[in-house]
Amino acid sequence: MVDIAKQIAFWQESAKEDWDVGRQLVDNGRTRHGLFFAHLSLEKILKAIICKKSQDIAPRIHNLSRLAELAGLMADNDKMEFLAEMNAFHIEGRYPESLTKPPTKEEALEFMAKAERVFQWLMIQS
């Protein structure tokens, strides 16, 4: 039997760690990598919420919008649109054919500021 409390704790702690790495990367000008880790942290905290609500393991998917739906979150349109927008950084981090010009540091900092607000809201939900 799966220890759901252990699963939730793993996702929460891992999300925090990835958030810190993403922040450091963006601060050091590694915008594409930093936003990939920001996406990863949002993905992981959503998976913690799914585990908590379903009392089962999280699905092996990466789409933030779909994870938010599975988590049953009552997110406003702005949060849902932002999660959909953040999906681009997951894909860009993994598939070279989808690479575009990396965001500038200023653009990445704007994404990180929005992501931080959503991340903090999700942490409360978890």
pLDDT digits (tens, 9 = 90+) for 42-98: 999 999 999 999 999 999 999 999 999 999 998 899 999 999 999 988 875 566 666
Can you tell me the distance from the alpha carbon of 108 to that of 111, in angstroms, rounded to the nearest whole number? 5
What does the pLDDT average to over 108-116? 97
Q: Domain span at residue 36?
A: 4-125
| Distance in angstroms between the alpha carbons of the first and the last residue of the chain | 21
Question: How many domains does the chain contain in total?
Answer: 1
> What CATH number does the domain containing 12 carry?
1.20.120.330
Question: What pLDDT sits at residue 75?
Answer: 86
Question: What pLDDT sits at residue 73?
Answer: 92
The residue type at 71: A
Do 50 and 58 contact (CB within 8 A), yes or no? Answer: yes
| Prediction pTM value | 0.93
What does the pLDDT average to over 26-35? 95
What does the pLDDT average to over 13-34? 96
Do 115 and 86 contact (CB within 8 A), yes or no? Answer: yes
C-alpha distance from residue 76 to each of 68, 111, 118 (Å): 11, 18, 11
